[in-house]
Structure 1
Amino acid sequence: MSEELHQRDLIEKPEKIGKWDFYNIGATTLKSLKENKIIPSLDYKEFERRKPDGIIVFKKNVVAVLENKRPSEFNTEAKKKKAIQQGIEVSQKLKAEILIVTDTKETIWINSLNGDLIKDENGNNLIYNFKKSDENIPKIIEKILESCDETNSQLTLPKLKDPSPLAKQVWQDIWSVSGATPENCLYTFVELFIFKYLSDLNVLTGIYNFDNLIKQYETNTSEDVLEFYANTIRKKIKQLFPMNEKDKTTIINGTIFVSKDEKAVEGYSAVFKKILEKFQNEGRLQNIHHDFKSKIFESFLKESISKKNWGQFFTPLKVVRAVSKMVEIKEGMTICDPACGVGKFLLEPILLDIKRFYKVENNKLKPLIKLVGFDKGFDKDEQKTIILAKANMLIYLSDLVKDYSLITEQFSDVFNETFLLKTNSILGTLSENIVEEYDLVLTNPPYVTSGSSNLKEEIVKSGLTTHYKVNATGVEGLFMEWIIRSLKLGGKAFIIVPDGSLKRANDNKLRKFLIDECFIDCLISLPKNTFFSTPQKTYILGITKKTDKSVSQTEPVFTYLVSDIGETLDVYRFDTENNELDEASNLFNQFKGAKSFFKTKDKRCKVQEFNKFVENINTNWLVDDWWTKEEKIKLGISEEDKVYDLPELINEFKQLQDFLMSEISELEAFKFDIKEVVKYKSVKLSEIVEMQRGNSKYTKSYISSNKGDFPVYSSKTEGEGIMGYTNSFEYDEECLTYTTNGVHAGKVFKRKQHKFSMNGDCAIIRILPKYKDLLDYNFLYFEIQKLLIEKNFNWENKATPNKVYPLNINIPVSKKGVFDINIQKEISKKYEQVETLKSELLNKTNEIKKVTFKL
């Protein structure tokens, strides 16, 4: 046993150089170092008695060997050469990559892998003097490790990786074999990316390392390798980055290759190997390009074939970056996004300043700002957005994790403290009664009006009525009130708001509340289709909470009309050269420095007197209308009425032809991604569902006398079939409804769980309790609709339950003859694809209908 190691307590408490352990020894043999488990337990043969002056170690692997020489032993080229030769022998035996030879005044750096002197970026010998206390030494060592190998001994600038093409390939591989939703493909890619990334950082070493897993294919089956990953490596990652006990989420949750119960999924081992090989071909991933950190989630969104299922949770990066430019982040700030999705609004503003806001001192991670993100997830079964947000934060903080890879639990604590899943109540974030806590709120809250009555009921039940006094119409109104109350006095918020909040007559109280509590800084109009999943017209609203409510706003408001956000507003989202949104951000930053004196020649920008907002509080704040038609025509925002001549008309029809051909190509390529031929079982509807007609008491006069928030469905087909709203309800469940009477008898509707009633011309369809987990409402919706259309129901041939019950429906079954809900869901997604194509075609033909032609 080495006295030196024990006397200086180096076994338990080695010195540190950056993230590495440093042993400045000289009287300890390799044998003693091995026995004390400081270096690998190998047979060092005749070198076991050698005593290096110092070693730099990372998890038992020797990174560098230090040779200390007296000046008298280092004052000639011959002596230096001899010192290097002595050190190289030990260094290579220890498999260290670096040899450092120094007399404290001069230092020679050697590439132990080939014996060459290490050169700097300019091709000169690296001459930086080694001192363990010098904060630049860890950076130099890191740069050597990244640059040098058996064939290269010169420092190079780190090559930034952009794994976007890899992400696309992996997405295609996963989707082609599983037909999984884009979000599940995304979760799986992110998980494997993190596995490879942590391996390249040496956070995952030994049997847990990516390279080790690849080697296992030499002696094990693909099934065994996937099993090892599922049972061993994933558990190690979750051990290094512990989950949040509050919401049980961690940084990984791919579900394609590993089931929810942590088991390898049978049948996917071949594609798992294929994807690992693609990651292997990508090389090391320590240095990740900034754009990839920002765009990874958007890349998957652009590949999505079902954007409407999940696009609403992602704000386009162009919008996030524009808002990020408009804010100023300072140390000590608390910043919140109450509907954070994958965390872009919190992470993007600090991307280039990560190391300024997150510092490590004495191996302690010290955040100098506090980020807070809440989210409810995609739906009640797949609440994973917070997992994506945590993985996203790991990717954004990658350079910091790379430098301090031994304190993963501290990083995990920060991820868990930053992002929290809110599922204890249907209110989600809105259940938190937070007052004057945040310096800054950046968010794109959900904006829907249907279902908001359920939230309002829950607000009453939860005793939160004093927190939501405004009674705004939609969910976005509730969020707006929450945001304003949560801001500190003087705090700021930038909120993406829909036009409904700005124009609905019932939301005049919300607008009044806004100007009573806050100053309006800006209102920037975004073009339709800015967001992936909806053509909803939206705006960026910037506000500052008043420090004194009695003070009225006197400063003007910055407004801007954006037509181009820097990308096409179609499903492809190609980048464009023009980005008026970026210009709006730049001008706003000039405006906020001297609001009353700001001037610009940009005709898309208008500085509005605040009184205009006061005067229009009961009408609308749609700033687009505050430009005249002539002004908009000059800006190219709206065109003058135009009559098409023959060449122009031909061009319009050619565009329609191109669109039709692309649609036809999609349909020709259309196929089910199901591994085996689907078997069906024919059953009567009466065997699997129950039906019930509505209550004939719900007439127009009854509804007029009993007005409320709960919809009443009828034989109407417009507006989701809603006849009106009453103050009571008879149903509160997920189901299907259909019209039993009228010219549209037999029209089926999908109904998510909510409170409603029906009149006598409408009927409900419920899955029988014993089939609740075996049948999918989406699948039944499409299949039952087909049946009812074939029967040609109408005024005379009413679609009563007695006529519908005997109809037969074909349902996919497993090999055992049991209803297969997974296949049902897969088929229903294909139906939805076709419906999307039909809708797009209808929009195009409607555009042609508007054309006026002259000969």
Structure 2
Amino acid sequence: MSEELLQRDLIKNPEKIGKWDFYNIGATSVKNLKEFGLIRNVDYGKEERKKVDGLIVQKKNVIAVVEYKKPSEFKTVAQKNKAIKQELEVARKLGAHILIATDTKETVWVNVLTGNKIKDENGNLIKDNFDPKGEKTPDLIEKIKYSINELSDQIKPKELVNPTDLAKQIWQDIWSVSGATPENCLYTFVELFIFKYLSDLGVLQGIFNFNTLYSSYDGNTEDEVLETYANTIRPKIKTLFPENPIDKTTIINGTIFVSKDQKAVQGYSTVFKKVLKKFKDYGKLEHIDYDFKSQLFESFLKESISKKNWGQFFTPIKVVRAVVEMAKDDIKVGAKICDPACGVGKFLLEPVITKLDQFYEVKKGKLIPKITIQGYDKGFDKDEQKTIILAKANMLIYFSDLIKENPNLTTEFSKLFNESFILKTNSILGTLSESVENEYDLIVTNPPYVTSGSSNLKDEIKKDGDLVNYYKINAIGVEGLFMEWIVRALKPNGKAFIIVPDGIFNRQNDKNLRQFLLDECYIDGIISLPIKTFFTTPKRTYVLCITKKPDNKSIQTDPVFTYFVSEMGESRDVYRFDIEQDDLNEAVMLYSFFKGNKQNFAKINTDIRCKIQPIEKFQPENHWCVERWWSKEEKEELGIEDENLKLKIEEFPTLLDEVSNSIISIKEEVQELATESEKPKFVKKKIKEIFDLKQKTNNSKFTKTFIDKNKGTIPVYSASKFPENVDYGYVKDNLKGVKYFENCLTWNIDGSIGKVYYRQGKFSLSEKVIPLIVQEELKKNLDLIYLKYAIEMEFSKHYFGFDNKAGKGKIQDIEISIPIDKKGDFDISKQKELAEKFKRLEDIKKSISDELDKISSTEIDFE
């Protein structure tokens, strides 16, 4: 342990640089820093032995590493480069943004992500000296942290464009005159944005250029200018960026100023001029801010007056970037990456925005992709093309730097856009219409959730013999079909990072889907996201991380990374303000360390939000809602309040829609059960004709006291209201006078009256429990699970209770119905089929109860 931190009382009272903690040290190793809890307690490899001179830290997140040098060792360029190289690797291991090398008189500022020196707003190397007590130092570090990334080593120039405000103004202008939906306002803004953007990049020139069109207002009417745009400029853009001949989509398709038959819309020419003037006054769009490229659609969503449909193609950028960061090791040259429900394409575009030069090469007039990204979408029912058009427009904005350098290769870029994003409207199944297998190295996606009408998709699948054999799991809702598609479409050892709703992890009637995941994949991690992470739904969601097994005989031995996120760096209201608490970022950081040390990570993990769970905990019949595995005491320690959903009154209808759609989907499954096969014939048999009721149970001397004195491993079941629990305890085997049973049904005389239980393995019973053991000659012809449900169904008609106890004498003559075949023999296969139906109906009733509980437990805020 380092004495330096203790002697100077730095653990509880560090120095401050603005809002950050500053540790001016030199005799403390990385290992010591993590032992004292100042940085994350993870394995930093060989860098743990290194001692750092200074650290700027915020809640264990290292903002900057400081390297102090003597003036005599910091004179020449070579000496300065040596100082940088000396600390760059440890800065990267610590996850720092900035490396500061200084002799206190002169300072070199370095972007850790690139290894390059950082420049100021004007493109010159930063000359400011690092002074921990200087008033300007916090502002400088904040600007650097905000600006630099894998793509940029420069503080964002003031003239760097972030047209969010422009988007807001134009959205209001368009909406005020047209009353169009927020989606259509967005499409129109994006179209005009691209027109101005391509003009500023030098792609649109002469009569097709924005400035030329705007200057034509001198001498032409407003209607004539709009007609010029509709009749001349739009066709030119579509010529430069040809449409996909298959789905007929291109990069533009606004329909407010130009109609669907490509004519100028009469009456909108005045607002068209107003919008063009705002673009003109805003200036050049040439240097687009990296964040705006990512957040254009998010900015529009925040302005939207109606968010109902946006969830179909919108995932918050913080979630997108978190998933991309988790998947980054699998995003490399030669990889084939897919998003089967791509929306505006962010899961596929975010990984490449900072690595265009690495993934796309221009050679001899040809654009050569070194990576394959494929996004599919069906879009909105009424106007299906627009989602894919937005994805292509989004890709153009992301690729702007490359397009600017190669303005004559628009056809090549258009070909790439068309191959990357494909509209799937050949069937109501969309992406699900193709039985893809072993195709992709990586899938990153946020598929649609349960919707009413999912039975229509299943009906469509039944019409196609190939698809019937492809979708075998019979999972609930659209998300269940997508999960099956994703797993089958992955290559062996391929990975997927999927945003999934709680239903997949919680519904009993989706246990087959969970079994399918266990059979086909390794479960790498599950991150629980907070309720209301998404704009459009109060549903709890998760990031599921899986790897497809090389063959399904492989058994998972590695544990599973789980993390409980309470906040993700932004408020979960309509405003989505940035906030300080960001558990999602912490989850991503820890997951990266877990991947490299799965078996031993639990030993060094000290984050209470992170639990490394054994794979044995992930049984298909159990829920996988990992946040429930934190105890009440642990949640209190984390400061997590009662997790009842709290909604504004105007948000409550959205929850009702969610619950209604889920129940309708469940109803559709019940209808399937009701029409699956012909009704069988039955025969009535008395209980005493089926079971050996002469079997005796234990007497009243078989007490808890007796069991405590004879503790062993054999469970003893009582007539408890909670018969799954072993209330009586465990007893030794082969005790004199004790009755033991094995693999049979039991019936409670009182307690949980009305339920029959199938007890597996060897066990014993209290005097209030009757063993129902099938007579020896009938055992091969009767299914115990069917008998369980058949007895329960019949016993429910007899009103047994504490005043009418169900002893052997009262139940022996009760008749139950058993299916028979054409010969009149017991039909064991039909019994098994009906038993499965009974079980599914039990699961369905539990699912409905859970859905209704969401409503009853929701708190409504009228403010």
Q: Which runs of 5+ in 2 are unaligned?
A: 1-121, 126-155, 652-659, 676-854
Contact persistence 1:312–1:531 (CA under 8 A): no
Shift of 1:430: 0.3
Contact persistence 1:312–1:532 (CA under 8 A): no
Shift of 1:450: 2.6
1:246-645 → structure 2 map (5 Å cutoff)? 246-327=246-327, 328=329, 329-463=331-465, 464-598=467-601, 599-614=604-619, 617-639=620-642
1:708-787 → structure 2 map (5 Å cutoff)? 725-726=670-671
Distance (Å, rounded) in 1 between the aligned partners of 2:444 and 2:582? 21
CA deviation profile, 1:269-298 (whole Å, cap 9, x unmatched): 011001111111111111111000000001
CA deviation profile, 1:489-522 (whole Å, cap 9, x unmatched): 1100000011101111111111111011110111
Distance (Å, rounded) in 1 between the aligned partners of 2:861 and 2:441? 46
Counterpart residue type for residue 408 of structure 1: T
TM-score normalised by the chain length of structure 2: 0.57
Counterpart residue type for residue 353 of structure 1: K
Percentage of pairs with the same residue: 63
SS of 1:516's equivalent in the other structure is helix
Shift of 1:727: 5.1
Distance (Å, rounded) in 2 between the aligned partners of 1:235 and 1:449? 38
Report the equivalent of 2:41: none
Structure 1 pair 848–222 and aligned structure 2 pair: CA distance change class (3 A): closer
Contact persistence 2:452–2:665 (CA under 8 A): no
1:61-140 → structure 2 map (5 Å cutoff)? none
Shift of 1:595: 0.8
Q: Which runs of 5+ in 1 are unaligned?
A: 1-119, 124-155, 642-651, 664-712, 731-840, 850-855
Structure 1 pair 720–472 and aligned structure 2 pair: CA distance change class (3 A): closer
CA deviation profile, 1:288-317 (whole Å, cap 9, x unmatched): 110000000011111111101323320111
Report the equivalent of 2:131: none
Distance (Å, rounded) in 2 between the aligned partners of 1:188 and 1:625? 45
SS of 1:218's equivalent in the other structure is coil
Distance (Å, rounded) in 1 between the aligned partners of 2:203 and 2:221? 26
CA deviation profile, 1:177-231 (whole Å, cap 9, x unmatched): 1111111011001100100011111111110000100110001000000000001
Of 277-286 and 216-225, more deviation after overlay is shown by 277-286
Distance (Å, rounded) in 1 between the aligned partners of 2:218 and 2:561? 64
Shift of 1:575: 1.4
Contact persistence 2:525–2:545 (CA under 8 A): yes
Distance (Å, rounded) in 2 between the aligned partners of 1:534 and 1:418? 29
CA deviation profile, 1:332-367 (whole Å, cap 9, x unmatched): 000000000000000012211122111111221001
Shift of 1:472: 0.7
Structure 1 pair 322–122 and aligned structure 2 pair: CA distance change class (3 A): closer
Shift of 1:381: 3.2
SS of 1:596's equivalent in the other structure is coil
Counterpart residue type for residue 633 of structure 2: E
Distance (Å, rounded) in 1 between the aligned partners of 2:636 and 2:334? 47
Of 541-550 and 367-376, more deviation after overlay is shown by 541-550
Counterpart residue type for residue 414 of structure 2: S
Distance (Å, rounded) in 1 between the aligned partners of 2:860 and 2:274? 46
SS of 1:466's equivalent in the other structure is helix
Distance (Å, rounded) in 2 between the aligned partners of 1:527 and 1:164? 27
SS of 1:351's equivalent in the other structure is coil
Counterpart residue type for residue 338 of structure 2: C
Structure 1 pair 473–224 and aligned structure 2 pair: CA distance change class (3 A): same
Report the equivalent of 2:203: 203
Counterpart residue type for residue 332 of structure 1: G
SS of 2:618's equivalent in the other structure is helix
Contact persistence 2:198–2:204 (CA under 8 A): yes
Structure 1 pair 728–489 and aligned structure 2 pair: CA distance change class (3 A): closer
Distance (Å, rounded) in 1 between the aligned partners of 2:424 and 2:384? 13
SS of 1:384's equivalent in the other structure is helix
Contact persistence 1:375–1:421 (CA under 8 A): yes
Contact persistence 1:241–1:411 (CA under 8 A): yes
Equivalent residue pairs, number: 519
Counterpart residue type for residue 671 of structure 2: T
Shift of 1:415: 0.2
Report the equivalent of 2:836: none
CA deviation profile, 1:87-134 (whole Å, cap 9, x unmatched): xxxxxxxxxxxxxxxxxxxxxxxxxxxxxxxxx9669xxxxxxxxxxx
1:35-54 → structure 2 map (5 Å cutoff)? none
Distance (Å, rounded) in 2 between the aligned partners of 1:336 and 1:416? 14
Contact persistence 2:341–2:431 (CA under 8 A): yes
Distance (Å, rounded) in 2 between the aligned partners of 1:521 and 1:844? 32
CA deviation profile, 1:681-710 (whole Å, cap 9, x unmatched): xxxxxxxxxxxxxxxxxxxxxxxxxxxxxx
Distance (Å, rounded) in 2 between the aligned partners of 1:258 and 1:729? 51
Counterpart residue type for residue 251 of structure 1: I
CA deviation profile, 1:553-600 (whole Å, cap 9, x unmatched): 001110000110111111221111111111111110111011111132
Contact persistence 2:562–2:610 (CA under 8 A): yes
Contact persistence 2:476–2:510 (CA under 8 A): yes
Shift of 1:725: 4.5
Distance (Å, rounded) in 2 between the aligned partners of 1:847 and 1:262? 47
Contact persistence 1:556–1:610 (CA under 8 A): yes
SS of 1:544's equivalent in the other structure is strand
SS of 2:414's equivalent in the other structure is helix
Structure 1 pair 165–366 and aligned structure 2 pair: CA distance change class (3 A): same
Counterpart residue type for residue 588 of structure 1: Y
Of 381-390 and 368-377, more deviation after overlay is shown by 381-390
